[in-house]
A and B are shown apart, each in its own frame.
Chain A
Amino acid sequence: MTKRVSSAGRWLPREMAVLLVALATLPLWIEPVGLYQYLGVEIAIWMIYGLGFNLLLGYSGLPSFGHGAFFGIGAYAFGLFQLWAFESLWLGILCAVFAAFVAGAVVACFLSHRRGIYFALMTIAFGQVFWFIAIKWHAVTGGEDGLLNIPRPALDVGLASAGLESNTALYCFVLAVLAAVLVLLWRLVHSPFGKVLQAIRQNEARARFVGYNVWMFKWTVFSLSAAIAGLAGSLFSMAQQSAYPDVISLHASGIIVMMTLIGGGFVSFWGPVIGVTVYFLARDVLGTLTETWLLWFGLMFVVAVLFKPEGIAGAWQEHVGAASGRSRARRALAGLLSTGRD
């Protein structure tokens, strides 16, 4: 019998345990190192967003450059629910995830038979449509000002209830959501579904000829990724206590692509986690030295694309002697620019 000894796919691999311990202790050390509590909230939210986004980019080879739309839809849906319906944490989050899932599912109907540059361009187009709606549908979205004074509902778990007004309390809640997302996505990428996505990324035609309905897999993963972006968006609107069109903009959509690529999303599950951390540290550390920190981060992105498409995670894998992800990353990058449709 072939025994496939592997830690891949366990519920809680070592890397995840280390990350979660580091994040769980963050409230104790973040201020002593000169940073601030809210930074942890931002990092955890964007990690959720990045992990969901990388299901598309890194695992399925589907370059979505308009993913901010689903993050924004989640943020607006959460805010609208709190402001128009009633204050409820769980129902607000559920509403946000559902709205982003439905929007993603509708968009995916138009995208799932596309790939390469056509897929990318259409995601930009749909992103712009949602951005335009957010700007122009003033009565619902608040126009350019967005939704303001969104409450942070209390965490109600039946017998007990806890307020999330403080950033530390909110951080603990967001961290719990991040932990759940990490475990579920780790499991997903090692499941048959995850393996099929990776097969589709490598050779879509062959995946079809071994019997996989590629359209349905692309549709499913796009909708799922949109739902996770919506989840992150709902947490974002809680954290910011507002939702505004900027998060849907092309600029915001590009940032998650940069984070994922720099971190090494093409070669590692942990790529977006690394990329998000680097981005926010660059913003807050580099940002104290120069106002042009984003220029330097952008240059880092250019260097990564040109010389290190496997990103920081790939560089680390090379350093510790693991198989190089360079060819995979280069092929994946080439795939983003390839033309084609099914």
Chain B
Amino acid sequence: MALFEARGIHKRFGQQVVLEHVDLSFEAGRLSGIMGPNGAGKTTCFNVLTGRHRPDRGRVTLDGEDITGLSPDAIARRGIARSFQVMSLFDENTALDNLIVALPEVRARGFDMFRRLSADDAAADRASAVLARVGLAGLERRRAGDLAYGERRALEIGIALASRPRLLFLDEPTSGLGSESTARLAELVQDLKRDHSVVVIEHDMQFLFALADTISVIHWGQVIANGTPDALRENAWVRRSALGGAA
């Protein structure tokens, strides 16, 4: 059984159908990609899968549990974390505090009003380890708002990673990055593959084809192709489209 499944997802905003009978399935321990042209419905799909939007129809399951229509926080507590294309950090906090607040053990005592969080060295250690993993070692005390763009992208992933997710959704992680930073990010995602189940939306096809185990292609709100990168390279539609050319 797949770790995460979406069956028959349908979503419309007013008269506009954005997702139409979308079926997706993500295996544990794999890196799954979602690609498609601009406006295809990729981010809406992410938003539906992670609880920001409730689907009009369809069913979403995590490890067999129906999570359709649950709130984002309820879905997050079940082990799904996501990063955002438009960066979404706690800008006034230090990089370390951004991660500390995302740790599951800190979340579990979120209503604790008396214990000093600053005295929790174990939490700080765990957050530091995550920070080092995303390449931000030494920047613990830097305010998130003062980090460079590429560092903020890494922190965006770090926040998702700090919650020790069962499934990690990354929304356009290379967005706005130069080639050097993209290469570093590819290394990071490759590293994450070792011990995480990851789903990546990306329109950098080279990035996605190099890293993903399977890819789903979304176009006009529908999944039009599904398979390994090699199989997709042979797909007639992908070959005809600009997507295939880039890969």
Is there a chain B Cβ closer than 8 Å to A22's Cβ? no
Measured CA separation A214–B74 after assembly (Å) = 11
Is there a chain B Cβ closer than 8 Å to A292's Cβ? no
The interface residues of chain B lying within 8 Å CB-to-CB of A210 are: 76, 81, 101-102, 107, 159, 162-163
**CB neighbors of A among B112-160 (8 A):** 112-119, 121, 124-125, 128, 140, 143, 145, 159
Measured CA separation A221–B81 after assembly (Å) = 26
Measured CA separation A318–B107 after assembly (Å) = 33
- Contact between B125 and A191, CB atoms less than 8 A apart: no
A336 shortest CB reach to chain B, Å: 16
Tell me the number of A-to-B contacts counted with CB atoms below 8 Å.
Answer: 116
Is there a chain A Cβ closer than 8 Å to B85's Cβ? no
Is there a chain B Cβ closer than 8 Å to A4's Cβ? yes
Interface size on B (CB < 8 Å)? 44
Is there a chain A Cβ closer than 8 Å to B220's Cβ? no
Is there a chain B Cβ closer than 8 Å to A18's Cβ? no
The interface residues of chain A lying within 8 Å CB-to-CB of B84 are: 206
- Contact between A211 and B114, CB atoms less than 8 A apart: no
Interface string of B59-90 (1 = CB under 8 A from A): 00000000000011100110001101000111
A101 shortest CB reach to chain B, Å: 15
Interface size bracket, A side = 35 or more
Is there a chain B Cβ closer than 8 Å to A288's Cβ? no
The interface residues of chain B lying within 8 Å CB-to-CB of A187 are: 113-114, 116
Interface-lining segment among A91-99, A197-205, A296-304: A197-205
- Best-buried of A2, A9, A210, A323 by chain B (most CB within 10 Å): A210
Is there a chain B Cβ closer than 8 Å to A334's Cβ? no
- Contact between B145 and A327, CB atoms less than 8 A apart: yes
Is there a chain B Cβ closer than 8 Å to A193's Cβ? yes
- Contact between B77 and A195, CB atoms less than 8 A apart: no
Is there a chain B Cβ closer than 8 Å to A136's Cβ? no
B200 shortest CB reach to chain A, Å: 17
Is there a chain B Cβ closer than 8 Å to A3's Cβ? yes
- Contact between A328 and B106, CB atoms less than 8 A apart: no
- Contact between B107 and A212, CB atoms less than 8 A apart: yes
- Contact between B118 and A212, CB atoms less than 8 A apart: no
Given A211-B77, A327-B145, is A206 in contact with B116 using a C-beta cutoff of 8 Å? no
B110 shortest CB reach to chain A, Å: 5
B109 shortest CB reach to chain A, Å: 5
Select one of B72, B73, B93, B113 contacting A199, CB under 8 A.
B93
Is there a chain B Cβ closer than 8 Å to A217's Cβ? yes
The interface residues of chain A lying within 8 Å CB-to-CB of B116 are: 8-10, 187, 190-191
Select one of B117, B121, B140, B163 contacting A211, CB under 8 A.
B163
- Best-buried of A2, A4, A9, A192 by chain B (most CB within 10 Å): A192
The interface residues of chain B lying within 8 Å CB-to-CB of A196 are: 101, 110
Is there a chain B Cβ closer than 8 Å to A241's Cβ? no
Is there a chain B Cβ closer than 8 Å to A306's Cβ? no
B152 shortest CB reach to chain A, Å: 13
Is there a chain B Cβ closer than 8 Å to A1's Cβ? yes
Measured CA separation A342–B71 after assembly (Å) = 11
Given A3-B121, A209-B82, is A199 in contact with B101 using a C-beta cutoff of 8 Å? yes
Given A196-B101, A209-B82, is A4 in contact with B90 using a C-beta cutoff of 8 Å? no
- Contact between B112 and A192, CB atoms less than 8 A apart: yes
Interface string of B220-234 (1 = CB under 8 A from A): 000000000000000
The interface residues of chain B lying within 8 Å CB-to-CB of A2 are: 96, 121, 124-125, 128, 140
Chain B interface residues (CB < 8 Å from chain A): 50, 71-73, 76-77, 81-82, 84, 88-93, 96-97, 100-102, 104, 106-107, 109-119, 121, 124-125, 128, 140, 143, 145, 159, 162-163
A-B contact pairs, 14 of them (CB 8 A): A1-B125, A4-B121, A190-B118, A192-B110, A192-B117, A193-B113, A195-B117, A198-B93, A206-B90, A209-B81, A211-B102, A212-B107, A214-B73, A331-B92
Chain A interface residues (CB < 8 Å from chain B): 1-4, 6, 8-10, 187-188, 190-196, 198-199, 202-203, 205-214, 217, 220, 323, 327-328, 331
